[in-house]
Chains A and B, each alone.
Chain A
């Protein structure tokens, strides 16, 4: 925890230094969110009956997605880690008293949450102030809000655990570009980053619900807008916990094997 906080602090201070980057990031998110909301409006006008949820729920989904983009974006990789793997400096990491997996996991968590921390506030505030169907709505109860926060944290961890697999894969391919692009775009699409999962065809939804992808941004965002409740919600949370545990387990096991390879090769 202390390590997490010091990573967080460094990253947070660093991102404060780059004020222009912070403004630019905010502008991009407002634009992106606004355009998406307008796009859904066009589809809503085309056929309101085909809409899988209320329009305002969709708008809220979009704004939450933008606000917490830093937590869930699938293309935000740490180039330092890739460099460590491909250039073999990973050996130094092995000499540290903390396992490589935890180290990377913490670093990622800190980097992303520090970025999100600064950027979610203006997006949430402004989108909340937008006129009725276009803005962010409030959750319908305190319980919903608490559930949202819980699934948000778990979803964030699931996302990180998934991303760790990409780093580990690079031990074998030794070239990050292909791995990162395929993992990022596939992950983004399947986790509902391009269009929310409820907008996909029913069959696709049924399958995705069972995968770890549904446990990332999809679950917390839909909890917030009240699109998922009751037994379905309970199942989803159980699945989320399962996938988080499974990904962490597989990642830890796998990285140990990958590291053994490095040691054997004298990496």
Chain B
């Protein structure tokens, strides 16, 4: 799911970003290019594990608004995707058109973080689902440029169609230079959470 909001889904002009996201529902990879500081365009491949299909989509992301402060930054993004969903692992369903729309928002200082993301996915006969995630974070220390930044985070997600609709995951975020790694574990629906972002 598009937790990319939590790792800045629009980069600097001319920048490329690789994002990997894996959670209790899906594993996804997104590569995006930022032609303007207002939007990025990416290619997304997402394996929705329990429904045995892969979504392949073009994903534009638009920065609706960014607020700047001396000590904070806040953003609101809209994203979408259109492409195809194809069955895997013996799934007999035929390939079909698929798409999603989402909204993302975050507010961040060097010590505090709050983020929200939501998405509605229509993958035809494969899936028709909605999800939302709230995440709060706290950094125990302020790292300077190129230091290792460490965050303690708590993520609460709600996903339609899953047995445990609401779940909680504590997450450790490590951030250094252009690389960001998140390691977490879902306490309600036991499964790892692994996110990685690299900005070129």
A binds B: no
Give the A-binding residues of B (Cβ under 8 A).
none
**A→B interface (CB under 8 Å):** none
